[in-house]
Amino acid sequence: MAKTIALKRVVVTGLGALTPIGNDVASYWQGLVSGTSGAAPITKFNPEKFKTRFACELKGFDPLNFIDKKEARKMDPYTQYALVASAEAVEDSGILSAGISPDRIGVIWGSGIGGLGTFQEETVQYVQDGFNPRFNPFFIPKMIADIAAGMISMQYGFRGPNYTTVSACASSTHALIDAFTHIRMGKADVIVSGGSESPIVEVSIGGFNAARALSTRNEDPATASRPFDKDRDGFVMGEGAGALILEEYEHAKARGAKIYCEIVGGGMTADAYHLTAPHPEGLGALHVLRNALQDAELAPTQIDYINVHGTSTPLGDVAELKAITQVFGEHAYKLNISSTKSMTGHLLGAAGAVESIATILSMMHGIVPPTINHQTPDEEIDARLNLTLNKAQHRKVDIAISNTFGFGGHNASVVFKKI
Catalytic residues: 169, 309, 346
What b-and-e string marks burial along 208-227, b requiring 16 or more CB atoms within 10 Å of the CB?
A: beeeebbbebeeebbbbbbb
Q: DSSP assignment, residue 17?
A: E
Characterise 391 by phi-psi region: left (phi > 0), alpha (psi -120 to 50), beta (else): beta
DSSP 8-class letter at 279: P
SS3 250: helix
Q: Residues near 25 by Cβ (< 8 Å), separated by ≥ 6?
A: 15, 16, 17, 88, 92, 357, 361
Cα angle 44, 57, 126 (rounded to 5 degrees) comes to 35
SS3 label, residue 138? coil
Q: H/E/C letters for each residue in 170-219?
A: CHHHHHHHHHHHHHHCCCCCEEEEEEEECCCCHHHHHHHHHCCCECCCCC
Return the percent helix, strand and coil in the chain, to nearest 5.
40, 20, 40
The distance from CA 16 to its chain's CA centroid, rounded to whole angstroms, is 12
In what order do the strands lie in the sheet containing 410-417?
Answer: 162-165, 105-110, 190-197, 240-248, 10-18, 261-270, 410-417, 399-406, 305-307, 336-338
What are the CA-CA distances from residue 126 to residues 109, 203, 387 (Å)? 30, 16, 49
CA 409 – CA 168 distance, rounded (Å): 9
Alpha helices in 227-270 (DSSP H): 249-254
